[in-house]
Amino acid sequence: MPGAVVSSKEFAKQVTVVVTRESIVGVARHLKDAEDFRYCVDVTAVDWKTRAPRFDVVYHFYSFSKNDRIRVKCTAADGEEVPSIAEVFLAANWCERETFDMFGIRFAGHPDLRRILTWDGFNGYPLRKDFPLEGIDTGAAIYPEEWPEGGGPSKNDPNRKVVS
């Protein structure tokens, strides 16, 4: 893969390869077909709040024939789209959804990019470093606006609370 690899390093017998964001699908396909890394272990991200491209997207692959793992990383700035590898590895589907849900990194070409752990309409990305631990008032209601018949405060009641 000429031009794809930016840098590589090794720590505790684990190899990390940093590649360019555009080439990630090609790298994944190459690892799967040519290098026999057929098992996509995990996809996640790291938020480096103050660094220039803000996020690292981290992929782990495993090869059964080599009995070895490889970690592939690419960087993404806030709002930048990363090509999705869900078409190459089915296992990456939910992992990418989780990464999107937690960090707000969009994966271009993902078949079903929705939030997975938080609910639709949640307004924030919990694993970003600027998201406070105690949570934020997202303004999103878990429960519907209408209360059941014969119970609960009316819609016009000023004391009515919407849990968010």
Binding of another protein by 60 (CB under 8 A)? yes
Binding of another protein by 90 (CB under 8 A)? yes
Is residue 151 within 8 Å of residue 129, measured between CB atoms?
no
Residue that is written with structure tokens 């919407």 in the block: 162
Give the CA count within 13 Å in the CB-facing half-sphere of 146.
3
Give the separation between CA 79 and CA 77, rounded to whole angstroms. Answer: 6
Is residue 145 within 8 Å of residue 134, measured between CB atoms?
no
Is residue 86 within 8 Å of residue 95, measured between CB atoms?
no
Instruction: Provide the mask over 119-138, with x wherever binding to another protein is found by CB under 8 A and - wherever it is not.
Output: x------xx---x-x-----
Which one among 24, 93, 105, 107 touches another protein, defined by CB under 8 A?
93
Binding of another protein by 52 (CB under 8 A)? no
Closer residue to another protein (CB): 24 or 95: 95
Q: Which stretch binds another protein (CB under 8 A): 23-31, 77-85, 90-98, 153-161?
A: 90-98
Closer residue to another protein (CB): 94 or 147: 94
Binding of another protein by 55 (CB under 8 A)? no
Could you tell me the smallest distance in angstroms from the CB atom of residue 86 to another protein?
A: 11
Token pair for 129: 């470093």
Closer residue to another protein (CB): 2 or 145: 145
Rg of the chain's alpha carbons, rounded to an integer?
A: 20
Token pair for 53: 């491209």
Closer residue to another protein (CB): 9 or 22: 9
Could you tell me the smallest distance in angstroms from the CB atom of residue 59 to another protein?
A: 11
Closer residue to another protein (CB): 67 or 159: 67
What are 55's strand-pairing partners?
Answer: 47, 76
Binding of another protein by 40 (CB under 8 A)? yes
